[in-house]
């Protein structure tokens, strides 16, 4: 499969101190790096799962792809062409081909507009010509499994699952080649989660598009993604085919996340948490391998030297001095 989206050393930095405060405390950090040296590829027609704990930088990376936050380092390429999220004229044609589903489905919908108006809003913004917007609204709402009666409703009248489906319809309005779904199952009942995931899977095939799913829900990505990337403190620490990563994780952090997934068998009790300790502050990153403060396999080298990202074969890669696989 051809590479559709490529990130090469992507970095996102936020200013946390400026003006007089920076002058009065010259040694304090003025920036925090939310994403560091992120390199990944999403192929045409595949589902890529981006996983990590809350605060690991997943959403920031997703927003940087479509230019909602500027990147401070590295490059984003779409269909082989470098794009600059800071230049709106350069991003406009790209945004026609990349749909976005935001984390909070209700908050991402304007409360003053009906579902029908919201669904076709991307068509209005991008000046779609020769299309009957009323017919397009009905087509899109049917694609996501809702009837035309929902077009007259307002966001506050929708359930979480219905609002999520409306978000999917909006993301599909322009016929994108890639849809980025940020926590598509967050806040939904288990049965509704399954409906949303099945919907995305069927749409991926019928619409011939790729999916980038951003989530902390490992069971979700295990069942719907082709490849997976694990983020920790803004870095991609492991990537590879989903089945292989779950079968034999290479990074201790990945192994800990997989071991922490709740099991339905009440007889399976854990003696200790798979990952101990708290996530370090982005303002005070640990030296060496940034995971060494929580890693039970850490050695002296891990505390002093940051590991380079290296290939393991079978399209896998890991940032670890002593990988488990």
DSSP string, 57-79: SHHHHHHHHTTSS--SEEEEEET
Q: How far apart are the first and last CA of the chain?
A: 26
Buried b (16+ CB within 10 A) or exposed e, 117-136: ebbbbbbeeeeeeeeeeeeb
Residue-level pLDDT at 73? 93
- Quote the tokens at residue 50: 């981006």
Mean pLDDT for the stretch of residues 147-173:
93
Over range 243-258, report the average pLDDT. 95
At residue 27 the predicted structure's pLDDT band, cuts being 50, 70 and 90, is: low
Rounded Cα–Cα distance for residues 52 and 236 (Å): 9
pLDDT tens per residue, range 215-230: 988 988 998 999 999 9
Exposed, middle or buried: residue 309 (CB in 10 Å: 0-12, 13-18, 19+)?
middle
Q: What is the pLDDT of residue 50?
A: 96
Confidence band of 271 (pLDDT split at 50, 70, 90): low
Prediction pTM value: 0.91
d(CA 72, CA 10): 8
Distance (Å) of CA 121 to CA 26, 113, 196, 319: 47, 10, 22, 42
Position 187 scores a pLDDT of 79
Look at the chain and count its residues: 325
What percent of the chain is modeled with pLDDT above 70?
A: 92
Give the tens place of pLDDT for each residue, 275-313: 888 889 888 899 999 999 999 999 999 999 999 999 998
Sheet strands (E) in 112-234: 178-182, 210-215, 227-232
Mean pLDDT of 162-189: 91
Q: DSSP state, 269?
A: -
pLDDT for res 120: 93
What pLDDT, on the 0 to 100 scale, is given for residue 230? 97
For the chain, which domains are there?
3-247 (3.40.50.300), 248-260+274-280+288-325 (no CATH)
Give the pLDDT confidence score for residue 60 in this predicted structure: 95
Residue range 105-134, pLDDT digits in tens: 888 899 999 999 999 999 988 877 768 899
Question: Higher-confidence residue: 1 or 217?
Answer: 217
Each residue of 35-93: pLDDT tens digit?
999 999 999 999 999 999 888 999 999 999 988 898 999 999 999 888 876 656 667 77
pLDDT at position 19, please?
A: 63
């Amino acid at each position: 499969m051809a590479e559709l989206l490529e990130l090469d050393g992507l970095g996102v930095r936020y200013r946390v101190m400026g003006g007089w405060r920076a002058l009065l405390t010259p040694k304090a950090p003025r920036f925090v790096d939310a994403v560091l040296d992120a390199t990944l590829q999403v192929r045409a027609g595949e589902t890529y799962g981006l996983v990590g704990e809350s605060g690991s930088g997943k959403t920031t990376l997703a927003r940087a792809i479509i230019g909602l936050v500027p990147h401070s380092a590295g490059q984003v390429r779409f269909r082989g062409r470098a794009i600059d999220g800071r230049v709106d004229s350069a991003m406009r044609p790209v945004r026609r081909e990349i749909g976005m589903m935001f984390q909070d489905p209700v908050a991402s919908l304007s409360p003053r507009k009906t579902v029908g108006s919201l669904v076709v809003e991307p068509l209005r913004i991008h000046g779609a010509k020769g299309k009957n917007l009323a017919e397009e609204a009905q087509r899109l709402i049917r694609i996501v499994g809702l009837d035309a009666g929902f077009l007259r409703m307002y966001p506050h009248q929708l359930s979480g699952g219905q609002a999520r489906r409306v978000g999917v319809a909006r993301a599909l309005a322009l016929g994108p080649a890639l849809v980025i779904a940020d926590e598509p199952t967050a806040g939904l009942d288990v049965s509704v989660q399954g409906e949303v995931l099945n919907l995305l899977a069927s749409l991926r095939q019928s619409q011939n598009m790729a999916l980038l799913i951003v989530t902390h829900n490992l069971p979700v990505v295990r069942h719907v993604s082709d490849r997976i990337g694990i983020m920790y403190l803004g870095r991609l620490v492991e990537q590879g085919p989903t089945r292989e990563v779950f079968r034999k994780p290479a990074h201790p952090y990945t192994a800990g996340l997989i071991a922490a997934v709740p099991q339905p068998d009440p007889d399976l009790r854990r003696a200790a948490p798979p990952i101990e300790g708290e996530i370090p502050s982005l303002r005070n990153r640990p030296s060496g391998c940034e995971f060494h403060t929580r890693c039970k396999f850490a050695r002296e080298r891990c505390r002093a030297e940051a590991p380079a990202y290296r290939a393991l074969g079978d399209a896998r890669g890991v940032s670890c001095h002593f990988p488990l696989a």
